[in-house]
A and B are shown apart, each in its own frame.
Chain A
Amino acid sequence: VTAGTARRTAALDALGDPTRRSVFERLGAGPLSVGDLARELPVSRPAVSQHLKVLKDAGLVVSRPVGTRRLYQLDPQGVAAVRAYFDRFWTDALAAFKEVAEQTKEES
């Protein structure tokens, strides 16, 4: 098992949890602190911290200090961020495709 494979497996496991997926998706919109995330999600601050640790260990999330706070964001070097991006892109594109296709006259 290569390091890359192990990391991918860790990323999949990390995103298998619905709460962690919620944390990950919110970070897709920009950096947030533990407090920000705890306010937006029905989980405690310690639970948010634990979820962030799993996401960091999986290589999906990085953190940096900003003043007295620590902000978490998707790993800009990580393919997970690319994937999250295209996930949103194709959701939108296919929804629009469906709309247009269904307004199109059928081929005779």
Chain B
Amino acid sequence: MTVQTDNPAGSATSVSKSVEVAVPVATAYRVFTEQTSTWWPAEHHLISGPGLDVRLEPHVGGRITDVTDDGQECVWGRVTAWEPPGLFAFAWLIGPDWGVPHPDAPASQVTVTFTPLDERRTRVDLVHSGLDAHGDGWEGLLQGVGGEGGWGRILEGYAAAAAAAG
């Protein structure tokens, strides 16, 4: 499997994932933080419209915003650590319905560390913690993502693409 779960049982309120990428650490950091919209699962943007992009202000306190060419904006994260090329962290404001977050919405934390394995390979470790901030109202979401158009479909699509890429 490409993406490793460090500890399948894990903490009850956090998720830990690791992935190894065959690029230098600076590239890994840049793609993760500056080119987010190129890899972010398309079904999980907060708004839709032409030219959808993820804009990140590269400093502590900076906003992470979905933007479109027709002027929509939705802030869904706030940078809490900006230390390229080794560390990036942000507060995750999105609620269970993937709706537009309230400014005072309770946040969980995503911490991403980039460790060079050699000049051309990098390990990316991601921890999403404090998930108890999003405690209520998940029933509909889970049923939605478990259905025909949900996660199973997304993962199948990825598996097919990965297999085709060899």
Contact = CB atoms under 8 A, between A and B. Distances in A.
Interface of A: 8, 11-12, 15-16, 21, 28-30, 73-74, 76-77, 79-102, 104, 106-107
A84 B20 CA distance: 22
A100 B38 contact: yes
B26 A107 contact: yes
Interface stretch (B45-53, B61-69, B74-82, B133-141): B133-141
B124 A87 contact: no
26 contacts: A12-B11, A30-B142, A30-B143, A73-B139, A81-B139, A82-B132, A82-B138, A83-B13, A83-B14, A83-B15, A85-B141, A85-B145, A87-B17, A89-B44, A90-B15, A90-B128, A91-B3, A93-B41, A94-B19, A94-B126, A95-B3, A95-B162, A97-B124, A99-B162, A101-B23, A101-B39
A79 B152 contact: no
A22 B2 CA distance: 20
Contact of A12 (B9, B26, B143, B155): B9
Contact of A16 (B9, B21, B28, B146): B9
Interface of B: 2-3, 5, 8-15, 17, 19-24, 26-28, 30-32, 35, 38-41, 44, 96, 124, 126, 128, 131-132, 134-139, 141-143, 145-147, 150-152, 154-155, 158, 161-162, 165
Interface of A is mostly: helix
A94 B24 contact: no
A89 B164 CA distance: 22
B15 A96 contact: no
B40 to A, nearest CB: 6
A11 B9 CA distance: 9
A12 B166 CA distance: 36
B131 A86 contact: yes
Contacts of B145: 85, 88
Given A76-B138, A98-B19, A83 B131 contact: yes
